[in-house]
Amino acid sequence: MLCPACSDQQINNTAQESHDLRPEVLKHLQVLCSEQMAGREGGTRGEAEVALYLASFLQEKGLRPAGEGGTYFQAFSIKGYQPRLLGQRMVFQQTNSLPSRTSENVLGILEGRQQDVIVLSAHYDHLGLINGTLYSGANDNASGVSVVLEVVNGLAGQKPERTILFAFWGAEEKGLWGSKYFCEHPTLPGERIKCIVNLDTVGNLKQKTLLGWLGSANEITQEIVASLEEQGWQINWEDNSKHSSDHYSFAQKGIPGFTLLSPTWLEKNHTSLDTVKEIKIKPMEDLVLALLNILK
């Protein structure tokens, strides 16, 4: 079981809940959405600055590098893209007139008591600077990244039941490039990866209600979902062919998993109004605590 009922765990839960995580979550959001990071467009200096921030955090917390060459990074090439307004939302479209760029996944391992690996992930890129306007992407997806970082923080120095790969995907907004590349070029034996839990746009949650996009299920994903529900979370599962996230890359390889989002994730999505001041920090803290209870 991922979350066995025992008195030690109840003590740990009480200790976690007594610590206010909201300042730490807010700190991550402010860094990721700062002008220095320039909207984190895939393949730009702003995205690379965030990759360094993430890798430094993983190193500080003692996670083993799971990228290439003993580093936390897995580099890959992406094609040229340019922004295009689609209704009220800014999106990217591929163009041959622009050169290819390099993006990176940021990967760290926390070894568990079992060799089986759970991937906990979020994409860290966004849209960048467009015509002088900053698209900071606080909800999409600095929110998911901030939750994953605080799960890292909460588990650092422990040995969880299962090994956890903490993954931050690059260039998701340009077509799931980072997670696709990892699934084609895994940096650990692929047979060890049993499922993925991906977080995307969880910054405007209302209470404990989530939207879920499911790839496929197995015993581990069912345990995770059941534990979330036991902790008071409701997941509304949606079969949406118009939108997807990084769990889809794993589904294409037959690896079970899902993405969790806010049911209102499309509000202000891919607009310049997706800023830190719009983020609801308390539900994000609640989600961190729920995931810590499940994964430890």
Domain boundaries, the chain: 8-295
Return the structure tokens found at 6.
């025992």
Per-residue confidence band for 4, with pLDDT thresholds at 50, 70 and 90: very low
Beta strands in 3-110 (DSSP E): 64-65, 73-78, 81-86, 89-94, 101-110
Calpha distance 188→167 (Å, rounded): 12
| pLDDT of 150 over the 80 cut | yes
Per-residue confidence band for 243, with pLDDT thresholds at 50, 70 and 90: confident
Cα dihedral 56, 58, 62, 65 sign: negative
The whole-chain average pLDDT of the chain stands at 93
Given 3.20.20.150, 1.10.1530.10, 3.60.110.10, 3.40.630.10, which CATH number is that of 8-295? 3.40.630.10
| pLDDT of 266 over the 90 cut | yes
From residue 263, alpha-carbon distances to 22, 206, 225, 277 in Å are 21, 8, 16, 19
Worst-scoring range by mean pLDDT, 87-101, 127-141, 144-158, 213-227?
Answer: 87-101
Instruction: Supply the pLDDT for residue 242.
Output: 74
Query: Do the beta carbons of residue 121 and residue 73 sit within 8 Å?
Result: no
Q: Select the more confidently predicted residue: 242 or 32.
A: 32
| pLDDT of 38 over the 50 cut | yes
* Span 28-54, average pLDDT: 98
Instruction: Supply the pLDDT for residue 205.
Output: 97
> Closest by alpha carbon to 173, among 111, 218, 130?
130
